[in-house]
Amino acid sequence: MSAVGTLTAVVLAVVLAYAGVSKWRTPIGTESSFASLGLPVPHVLARVVPVAELGAGVVLVAAPRIGGILALAMLGSFTVVLALRLSQGVTVGCACFGRADAPPLSPVELFRNAVLLALAATALAAPVPVMPTFEAVVLVSAGLVVGGVVVALAQLRRDIGAVFATDLPGEMA
């Protein structure tokens, strides 16, 4: 199980590094997004959150169990904020990956965070990094595919209003 934990820790570290660098490169957009979400001191969070994400990514690779705990705390906090804002009808984009033109907040972000939280929880299985086995690669890859399909279906529902539609755009009735 340590091999699976190590591999999920590395995958999550890459995601957090990407998110952190994206936010760091667009501090004004990040601050604006945080302000739109009603977060306190958005100008401070716009600098602290990217550093925390990058730091958690480093710790995930060096000490997967500790990094998993950090990632669970961070992602859990982010998810609670997003869920609260979504329940309040806030529709601004979350700019979770530094995009100022992010689509409006929707359940897609919650599904995505659920997949990331699952990766963080799985990282707890690795007290120290180990070389991933072939079986671990297959298992983690299958999990990522399933998670990706769930997120893609939620995104499809958000974008076109249905997951399985029988009427195709432009189809004559």
Where do the structural domains in the chain lie, given as residue ranges?
2-160
pLDDT at 88: 93
Q: Which of 17-21, 48-52, 97-101, 124-128 has the lowest mean pLDDT?
A: 97-101
Q: How much is the pTM?
A: 0.88
Q: Is the pLDDT of residue 10 over 80?
A: yes
pLDDT, one tens digit per residue, over 99-154 is 767 888 889 999 999 999 999 999 999 999 999 999 999 999 999 999 999 999 99
Predicted confidence band at 173 (pLDDT cuts at 50, 70, 90)? Answer: low
Please check the confidence at residue 91 and state whether its pLDDT lies above 90.
no
Percent of the chain topping pLDDT 70: 94
Spatial distance between the Cα atoms of 31 and 43, rounded to a whole number of angstroms? 5
Q: What is the mean pLDDT of residues 35-48?
A: 93
- Interval 52-63 mean pLDDT: 97
Q: Which distant-in-sequence residues (6+ apart) come within 8 Å of 111 by Cβ?
A: 150, 151, 154
Q: How far is CA 139 from CA 1, 10, 107, 114, 116, in A?
A: 11, 14, 26, 18, 16
* pLDDT on residue 63: 96
